[in-house]
Amino acid sequence: MHSVRPRRGTMMDLRRITIGDYVALVASLLTVVSLFMTWFVSNVPGTHDQWAFTYSEVAAVVVIVFFLATLFLVLYPAIAPEFGLPPLPFSTPLIFLTMGGILLLMFMFEFGKYSCILCQGVSRGFGIYVGLIASVAFIIGAIVKWGSRPSRTRV
């Protein structure tokens, strides 16, 4: 005779993660990856290409904090039932829209910072373009998540 122990399920319920969450998470990961690409390219002798950590430390810190916040906001609903945690007391699509808007404004500022009118041999790097596109994708992910929320039924 052997005892039958109930099977324990997986630790994460991936059905709670929507397509909008995945889009926001990938976009936020792309913004972090853009930090390691060149943001400022110079062909002037004696200068070198610069990336986000050497030229804009504040932007790098904001991007890393937003990535960690996005990771938390995406994974929390998936692991909360397993650990008996309460649901989040706020709507995550609104938070994602705010974070995406801040990222878009920040990358637009950084994009304009590297535009020289009379500079010869100085241009924007590939990383600033990746970050700008990823911030737009982050907003799109927030909109998709907002549209995929279950609607309330009125009685």
pLDDT value of position 85: 82
Tokens of 105: 């404004």
As separate numbers, helices (DSSP H) first and strands (DSSP E) second, the chain gives: 5, 3
pTM: 0.79
Q: What is the pLDDT of residues 11-47, one digit of tens each?
A: 666 777 889 899 999 999 999 999 888 877 777 666 6
Instruction: State the average pLDDT over residues 52-64.
Output: 84
CA atoms within a 13 Å half-sphere pointing along the CA-CB vector of 107: 28
Does 36 map to a domain? yes
Q: Is residue 155 part of a domain?
A: no
Query: Is the pLDDT score of 140 beyond 60?
Result: yes
- Considering the domain boundaries, does residue 58 fall inside one? yes
Q: Is residue 139 part of a domain?
A: yes
Is residue 122 classed as helix, strand or coil in its secondary structure? strand
Model confidence pLDDT, tens digit, residues 60-117: 899 999 999 999 999 888 888 788 888 888 888 899 999 999 999 998 988 877 666 5
Asked whether 114 and 39 are in contact (CB, 8 A), the reply is: yes
Report the number of distinct structural domains present in the chain: 1
Task: Report pLDDT for 30.
Answer: 95
What was the pLDDT predicted at 46?
66
CB within 8 A of 9, min separation 6: which ones?
82
Q: What is the pLDDT of residue 13?
A: 65
Domain range for 66 is 22-147
Instruction: Indicate the pLDDT class of residue 141, thresholds 50, 70 and 90.
Output: very high
Is the pLDDT reported for residue 124 higher than 90?
no
